[in-house]
Structure 1
Amino acid sequence: MSEALQILQKYWKHDSFREPQEEIIQSVLSGNDTFALLPTGGGKSVCFQIPAIQLNGICLVISPLIALMKDQVQNLQSKNIKAIALTGGVSQDDVIDILDNCQFGNYKFLYLSPERLQHDWIVERLKQLPINLIAIDEAHCVSQWGHDFRPAYLKISALKEHFPTTPFLALTATANKRVQEDICKNLALVNPKVFTKSFTRENLAYHVIKTEDKLFKIQQILTKNPQSSIIYVRNRKSCVETSQQLNQLGFSCTFYHGGLPAKEKEKNMQSWLENKSQVIVATNAFGMGIDKPDVKTVIHIQLPENLENYYQEAGRAGRNGEKAFGIILTNATDIGYTKAQFIDVLPDKKFVRDVYVKLNNYFQIAYGEGYNESFAFNLNQFCAHYHFPVIPTFNSLQFLDRQGILTFQSESTEKISLQFIIPSKEVIRYISLHPHDEPVITTILRTYSGIFEVETTINPHLVAKKAHTTEAHVEEVIDKLAASQCIILHAKNNDSSITFNEVREDDLTINRVAKFLEHQNKLKQDQFQRVVHYISDENTCKNKMLLAYFDEITKEDCGICSYCFSKKKANPTEITQNVIQLLKKEPLSSREIENQLHISSEATIFAIQLLLENNRIKINSNNQYYLI
């Protein structure tokens, strides 16, 4: 048995690798630069984590996704593998501590964002580390033709000068041939070994269903397929409303979006992962690092922004190899509504500049200052203050984030401030009665002097780190102290946070990235037109269309998508006979007929019209059809 397989079995509890994981790992262990295209669910992280564990030294993982970095670090730590992340908003002193830990603390993984490589002093510190592998996740971000281009990725190739013998491993889930070539070129990979896995998911049926009543269609789908499901929606409001509607219809349903507090996110996620909730309704904030094998159905009730995102989100279904469904529900108004949501709100250079300048003014940052300063941020309050439209402002902040000018974390943060209102001797007595809470309480007291005299803002993440525990436990201890009236506690929710990665330079900053904005807007328009084509074309296999989008050509229809299914569906005569058999028992509405026969609304209407024209049925005052 190979050492790599032993590590897989020990830490991941799998008996074998998925194809081509083992070949990628062997390529890296042989010292080769390697490019791996593994569609969603292909197990990309294992491809760098296992060789990094096998080799002496530390693996440098470059990723733009803070949430995914945190998730992977937590997963590794839960396996007693030493890993740490260098994310935005960390003070310079803490950065130095983290890099010291990596140099002297026997760590195996250091995660950082590509923007960190723009600081020469950090690169100098990296050069002192025994780096055994450099893994570049979401590698499509290095290509201007990728759906999420980030200029900071172009700086990664400079690491080749400092680590000429260290293998580079570039990983992505979505890249056509043009993007693949860009990745290898822009990362300066040397004679890379290339591994690409087909985008075909033979067990996944892609369906586009036209319906005017999406909630009723969801009810039909979930009743027919009562297994684990995900429903993707566009915004937080739809997330909550759809979940409530499905619970009222009798489905066990929870929801997930970026604005939820961490504890509620975790609770809702666990409810779904443990199958206590059949359905999770989510925005695209949900899904990174999620590998639930038994998801039967993924439903999009609004059009996706691009086919890359759709392929990844739909691909969370059927990872156990059993038949599964990726479904888009659409109606006549969707294209216009989605265009207004995605395309008409793309910001131009002037608007991005206005947002950037006002953001600095909002936080009272002077020209030439602001580097690495972090602030709690409420998007709606900011927009109301300056009379900015919310969606273009959000898009502007996302653009500035992707350019590395700032880090915009669109997720709930909680600013906690507290003050002890009992004497110190009573705190000692409280600790004696609650010994499990002692590390957290003593850490707070040592870290925040004066907390008996004034209300003090604390950082739960820092306390958790120093007390060698979790943030959830820190918050639990604080809640108990408040309930016992030991402290005064105030918590203020913000829907996101902002960290400035550069000093304020206004026009100099925006002019530098304006060409990327223009290119990005054009790319988004083109991508949206491909989505429109995907849902509108009724004469082509849906699987074929998705594969062609990623430059993978197949002559065979899949046989299970909505187009292939429509070719095989029952003929009109058979459907009308089935309708007659139903109506012999009792009068039924068109919806009841559709539901009982499990056919499309179009087929139902066609059969009813045929029977009405031939005077076989009539409609009563309750809008039910009956036989004459």
Structure 2
Amino acid sequence: MSEALKILQKYWKHQEFRPLQSDIIDTVLNGQDTFALLPTGGGKSVCFQIPALLQPGICLVISPLIALMKDQVANLNKRNIKAIALTGGIESNEMIDLLDNCQYGNYKFLYLSPERLQSDWILERIKSLPINLITIDEAHCVSQWGHDFRPAYLKIALLKEHFPTTPFLALTATATPRAQKDIINELGLKNPQIFQKSFARKNIAYMVFQTEDKLYRIEQILKKNPESSIIYVRNRKSCTTISTQLNALGFKSTYYHGGLSPKEKDKNMNLWMQDKAQVIVATNAFGMGIDKADVKTVIHIQLPENLENYYQEAGRAGRNENKAFAVLLTNPSDIIQAENQFLNVLADKTFLNSIYKKLCTYLQIAYGEGINEQFPFNLNHFCTKYNFPVLKTYNAFQFLDRQGVIALSQEFSEKISLQFIISSKEVIRYTSLNPNDEEIILTILRTYPGICEMQTAFNVVLIAKKSHHSESQITALLHKLKEKEIVAFTAKGNDAILTFNEIREDERTISKVIKYLENQNKLKKEQFTSVIKYVQNEQECKSKTILSYFGEIVSEDCGICSYCITQKSKKSNSLTLSAEIISHLKQNELNSRELQVKTNGNSNEVIFAIQTLLENEQIIIKSNNKYSLK
């Protein structure tokens, strides 16, 4: 038995590798650069975790997904494998300690985002680590033609200079042929071994149904397939609405979206994972690191933004290899709605320039300043102040975030985070000099004993009630104390923390990233066109359409998708119609119009049946344009 298989059995309790996993591991252990495209459920993490465990040193894992990094680190730690993630919000001192642990503490995995490599001191520390493998997860982000391109990924190739003999392993679940070539070039992979598992999921029936009443169709599907299901929706409100409607119809349903607290997410997730809820209604925030093998049905009730995301989300069905269904429900108005959501909200250069300048004005950042400054930020307030459309503005900020111009961290907290940053003695001295503020401050100190030592979740309503003051008086005092540098706090109503990663240079800042914006907009339009083709094309197997998009050409139809089922039905109808035509022609010679009347059939179906009978030489056409038996 190979050492790799022993590790798999010891830590993961699997008896054998999935297709390509063993080959990828062997190639990495031989020190070769490797590119692996393993669709959803293909077991990508094992491909770098096992070779890293088989060698001395530490594996560097570069990933853009904080949730996935945390999930993988937690899973490794559960298996008593030492792993660390340098995620956002970690102070520099703590980061130094973590990197020290990597160097001296026998850690096997260091996870970090590509943006971390832009910090020179972090890069210097990494150079001193005994790196045995560099893994680039979600490698499609390297490519300008990948669906989540991030320029910070382009810096990864610099690691080749510092680790010339260390193998690179690029992993992705979705990359078109154009993106694959781009990834290999941008990472500087040297004669890489390329592994690509087929995108075909032979047990998944891809279904597209036109329907005006989507809820009724969902009800039919869930009754026919009462096993575990996921319903993907576009926004948070739809999560709760659809889940409530399904519960009213007698289904056990829960929901999941990015705005839930961690406790609510865990609770709802467990209900579904433990089969206490048949259905989980979710936004695309759901699914990262989720591996529930027995999902029978995945339903999308709105058009996806691209086939990459759709394939990944649909692929969460049928991981136990049993027959499963990926259903897309649509109606004519969906295309217009999706265009409004995905295309009409794309920022151009003029809009991006305007947004950036107004942001600097809003936050009072002078030209040439702003780098590393943090600000509480309310998107709705900003958009209202400058009359900007919210979704388009949000997309613009997301773009600037991915380019590393700013960092936007979601908070979604209804409580203020507060800390007194002067000594407790100085706080008491301040109250003696400002008796009007004394009652509120003393109430805060009594309610939150540790507020002078650490950031503390602060409830305005509670302090207002205890101190017999209004909420506005409490908030006004906090702003006053902040201005006097007595407290540090994030005010209620701010839905994000915004950090400037570069100095303000207006047009120069935007011009550096504009080519990426133009490429991104072009790509998004092409991707959406592919979604429309998938939905509207009634002349091709749905599985074939998806495989073709990812550069995989197959000759045979899948036989189980909505197109194939329709074709089987047509053939069945055609056989019945052909038998009826032969029966009528036994009595008389008839033309096509007369045959249509006699059979009461659809004109296209009748013509198709006549052509089939002619090709099979069962009937002939006379000079009078009438048909008779041969």
TM-score class, shorter-chain normalisation, is: 0.7 to 0.9
- Rounded to whole Å, the distance in 2 between the matches of 1:175 and 1:453 is 50
Cα contact 2:39–2:197 (8 A) shared by 1: yes
* 1:133-532 → structure 2 map (5 Å cutoff): 133-410=133-410, 412-413=412-413, 417=417, 452=449, 458=455, 495-532=495-532
Distance 1:359 1:255, change over 3 A: farther
CA-based RMSD: 3.1
- Rounded to whole Å, the distance in 1 between the matches of 2:54 and 2:447 is 48
- Rounded to whole Å, the distance in 1 between the matches of 2:218 and 2:448 is 53
- Rounded to whole Å, the distance in 1 between the matches of 2:208 and 2:132 is 46
SS in 1 for 2:217: helix
Question: For each residue in 1:550-576, what CA deviation from the matched residue of structure 2 results, as whole angstroms up to 9, or x when unmatched?
Answer: 110001000000000111238569999
- Rounded to whole Å, the distance in 1 between the matches of 2:144 and 2:419 is 50
Distance 1:499 1:225, change over 3 A: farther
Cα distance, 1:401 vs structure 2 = 1.7
SS in 2 for 1:59: strand
Cα distance, 1:494 vs structure 2 = 5.4
- Rounded to whole Å, the distance in 1 between the matches of 2:99 and 2:267 is 33
Distance 1:149 1:102, change over 3 A: same
Alignment-derived partner of residue 4 in structure 2? 4
Distance 1:396 1:51, change over 3 A: same
Distance 1:352 1:49, change over 3 A: same
Which segment drifts farther, 503-512 or 229-238? 503-512
Q: What residue identity is the alignment partner of 1:224?
A: K
Question: For each residue in 1:220-271, what CA deviation from the matched residue of structure 2 results, as whole angstroms up to 9, or x when unmatched?
Answer: 0011011111111111111111111111111111111111111111111111
Gap runs ≥5 in structure 2: 421-444, 467-473, 475-488, 578-600, 603-630
Question: For each residue in 1:385-412, what CA deviation from the matched residue of structure 2 results, as whole angstroms up to 9, or x when unmatched?
Answer: 3322111011111111221222334464
- Rounded to whole Å, the distance in 1 between the matches of 2:15 and 2:360 is 53
Distance 1:68 1:412, change over 3 A: farther
Alignment-derived partner of residue 55 in structure 1? 55
Cα distance, 1:349 vs structure 2 = 1.6
Which segment drifts farther, 267-276 or 527-536? 267-276
SS in 2 for 1:10: helix
Alignment-derived partner of residue 119 in structure 1? 119
- Rounded to whole Å, the distance in 2 between the matches of 1:9 and 1:377 is 48
- Rounded to whole Å, the distance in 1 between the matches of 2:280 and 2:103 is 42
SS in 2 for 1:499: strand
Which segment drifts farther, 318-327 or 79-88? 79-88
Distance 1:369 1:264, change over 3 A: farther
Gap runs ≥5 in structure 1: 421-447, 461-474, 577-605, 608-628
Which segment drifts farther, 3-12 or 354-363? 354-363
Alignment-derived partner of residue 110 in structure 2? 110
Which segment drifts farther, 129-138 or 401-410? 401-410
Which segment drifts farther, 174-183 or 541-550? 174-183
Alignment-derived partner of residue 550 in structure 2? 550
Q: What residue identity is the alignment partner of 1:66?
A: I
Cα contact 1:413–1:496 (8 A) shared by 2: no
- Rounded to whole Å, the distance in 2 between the matches of 1:575 and 1:264 is 55
Question: For each residue in 1:307-345, what CA deviation from the matched residue of structure 2 results, as whole angstroms up to 9, or x when unmatched?
Answer: 111111100100000000111100011111111111011
Cα contact 1:36–1:172 (8 A) shared by 2: yes
Cα contact 2:419–2:455 (8 A) shared by 1: no
- Rounded to whole Å, the distance in 2 between the matches of 1:495 and 1:304 is 26
- Rounded to whole Å, the distance in 2 between the matches of 1:85 and 1:414 is 27
Cα contact 1:376–1:413 (8 A) shared by 2: no
Normalization by structure 2: what TM-score? 0.79
Cα contact 2:419–2:456 (8 A) shared by 1: no
Cα contact 2:376–2:491 (8 A) shared by 1: no
Alignment-derived partner of residue 424 in structure 1? none
Cα contact 1:418–1:451 (8 A) shared by 2: no
Question: For each residue in 1:542-598, what CA deviation from the matched residue of structure 2 results, as whole angstroms up to 9, or x when unmatched?
Answer: 00000000110001000000000111238569999xxxxxxxxxxxxxxxxxxxxxx
Cα contact 1:258–1:412 (8 A) shared by 2: no
Cα distance, 1:367 vs structure 2 = 3.8
Alignment-derived partner of residue 442 in structure 1? none
- Rounded to whole Å, the distance in 2 between the matches of 1:71 and 1:337 is 34
- Rounded to whole Å, the distance in 1 between the matches of 2:162 and 2:560 is 51
- Rounded to whole Å, the distance in 2 between the matches of 1:301 and 1:512 is 38
Cα contact 2:52–2:108 (8 A) shared by 1: yes
SS in 2 for 1:518: helix
Cα contact 1:254–1:268 (8 A) shared by 2: yes
Distance 1:413 1:18, change over 3 A: farther
Cα distance, 1:301 vs structure 2 = 0.3
Q: What residue identity is the alignment partner of 2:54?
A: Q
Alignment-derived partner of residue 30 in structure 2? 30
SS in 2 for 1:569: helix
Cα contact 2:58–2:107 (8 A) shared by 1: yes
Q: What residue identity is the alignment partner of 2:50?
A: I
SS in 2 for 1:534: helix
* 1:579-594 → structure 2 map (5 Å cutoff): none
Cα contact 1:291–1:316 (8 A) shared by 2: yes
Distance 1:93 1:450, change over 3 A: farther
Which segment drifts farther, 384-393 or 321-330? 384-393
Which segment drifts farther, 507-516 or 384-393? 384-393
Cα distance, 1:95 vs structure 2 = 2.5
Q: What residue identity is the alignment partner of 1:277?
A: A
Alignment-derived partner of residue 70 in structure 2? 70
SS in 1 for 2:526: helix
- Rounded to whole Å, the distance in 2 between the matches of 1:74 and 1:367 is 43
Which segment drifts farther, 265-274 or 383-392? 383-392
Alignment-derived partner of residue 18 in structure 2? 18
Cα distance, 1:417 vs structure 2 = 4.5
Q: What residue identity is the alignment partner of 1:387?
A: N
Cα contact 2:143–2:182 (8 A) shared by 1: yes
* 1:74-113 → structure 2 map (5 Å cutoff): 74-113=74-113
- Rounded to whole Å, the distance in 1 between the matches of 2:416 and 2:9 is 41
Cα distance, 1:358 vs structure 2 = 3.3
Normalization by structure 1: what TM-score? 0.79
Distance 1:495 1:320, change over 3 A: farther
Cα contact 2:376–2:490 (8 A) shared by 1: no
Cα contact 1:298–1:326 (8 A) shared by 2: yes
Distance 1:14 1:557, change over 3 A: same
Cα distance, 1:96 vs structure 2 = 2.1
Alignment-derived partner of residue 601 in structure 1? none
Alignment-derived partner of residue 569 in structure 1? 569
Q: What residue identity is the alignment partner of 1:201?
A: R
The count of corresponding residues between Structure 1 and Structure 2 is: 530
- Rounded to whole Å, the distance in 1 between the matches of 2:199 and 2:123 is 36
Cα contact 1:416–1:457 (8 A) shared by 2: no
Cα distance, 1:82 vs structure 2 = 1.7
- Rounded to whole Å, the distance in 1 between the matches of 2:385 and 2:74 is 38
- Rounded to whole Å, the distance in 2 between the matches of 1:523 and 1:38 is 22
- Rounded to whole Å, the distance in 1 between the matches of 2:298 and 2:348 is 34
Q: What residue identity is the alignment partner of 1:452?
A: P
Distance 1:57 1:363, change over 3 A: farther
Q: What residue identity is the alignment partner of 2:359?
A: L
Cα distance, 1:495 vs structure 2 = 4.3
- Rounded to whole Å, the distance in 1 between the matches of 2:134 and 2:249 is 50
- Rounded to whole Å, the distance in 2 between the matches of 1:287 and 1:563 is 28
